[in-house]
Amino acid sequence: MISTRRTFLAGSLATLAAAHPLMGCGPLPSSTKVHVMGVIHGRHRRSESYSLAVLEEAIRIAAPDVIFTEIPPDRIDQARCSFASTGEVDEPRTEVFPEYTDVVFPLSREMPFRLFGCAGWTRQIADDRAQALERIQNDPARAEQWAEHRAAQSDFAQAVAGRSDDPRFIHTEHFDQLVEKSREPYQRYFDQDLGPGGWSQINRAHTDLINAALDEISGEGLTTLIMFGSAHKYMIRRSISQRGDIALLDTADLFA
């Protein structure tokens, strides 16, 4: 019975392959091609290896049809409209990110990509998180937890010293592993205290919005560039890699 079933399945797959010559040869043309780009926010202005000029060149090479940004959905229109009107972005959440204000929005004048807001942050979440972390830091009963969290951050800083702004290193599995390890105590000890601003919860909010946006463009064969802070990258890749309608690309290839 098992042998007969295997023979039937093999025959069925062969028939499908004949009808669809690209089957078994990688993603179909309608798959959404996705780059997940880890950015370093304000450090782009100070870095030589990952400067705003390097970032711009990488985006040009990627030639995206859509860019998913770390801007909340309810703020992307304000950012877009202010730039269209004045040439500057005056949306508070967006204007602190030079990757958008100095690169993405200016490039939108010549590259016909669409922008999506995919950040789960709100001002309330940020304020509540800051207050909760201050309480934890000053609570003697949690001194050991805080010390372990800070030690993990210090270990990460040492592990990436001299290359934390190297885009080719940032876009490696090793970097993602180091980030995940550095966030483990923070996630384990403080998630419940931080609520929507906890590491698990906020990344889930980001990836829910990213997946919803991918659903919206699914099947169109578009190239998508997801631009988020580099620490979020491993969570994003882990989430979207479960999808069957995307081709996840190696973003390190965008950097010479």
Instruction: Check whether residue 15 and residue 108 sit in a common domain.
Output: no
Instruction: Check whether residue 1 and residue 91 sit in a common domain.
Output: no
Q: Are 94 and 100 in contact (CB under 8 A)?
A: yes
Instruction: Check whether residue 6 and residue 84 sit in a common domain.
Output: no
pLDDT of residue 9: 32
CA distance 255 to 166: 10
Instruction: Check whether residue 121 and residue 35 sit in a common domain.
Output: yes
pLDDT of residue 71: 97
pLDDT of residue 21: 34
Instruction: Check whether residue 40 and residue 5 sit in a common domain.
Output: no
Number of neighbouring beta carbons within 10 Å of residue 16? 11
Instruction: Check whether residue 232 and residue 117 sit in a common domain.
Output: yes
196: CB partners within 8 A, 6+ apart: 120, 125, 128, 202, 205
List the end-to-end C-alpha distance of the chain, in Å, as a whole number.
55
Per-residue pLDDT tens listing for the chain (256 residues): 433 333 333 333 333 333 333 334 455 569 999 999 999 999 999 999 999 999 999 999 999 999 999 999 999 999 999 999 999 999 998 999 999 999 999 999 999 999 999 999 999 999 999 999 999 999 999 999 999 999 999 999 999 999 999 999 999 999 999 999 999 999 999 999 999 999 999 999 999 999 999 999 999 999 999 999 999 999 999 999 999 999 999 999 999 8
Instruction: Check whether residue 76 and residue 172 sit in a common domain.
Output: yes
- Count how many domains the chain has: 2
pLDDT of residue 117: 98
pLDDT of residue 1: 41
Q: Are 113 and 66 in contact (CB under 8 A)?
A: yes
Instruction: Check whether residue 3 and residue 83 sit in a common domain.
Output: no
Instruction: Check whether residue 143 and residue 164 sit in a common domain.
Output: yes
Instruction: Check whether residue 18 and residue 54 sit in a common domain.
Output: no
Instruction: Check whether residue 86 and residue 132 sit in a common domain.
Output: yes
Domain that holds residue 66: 31-256
Instruction: Check whether residue 4 and residue 42 sit in a common domain.
Output: no
pLDDT of residue 256: 80
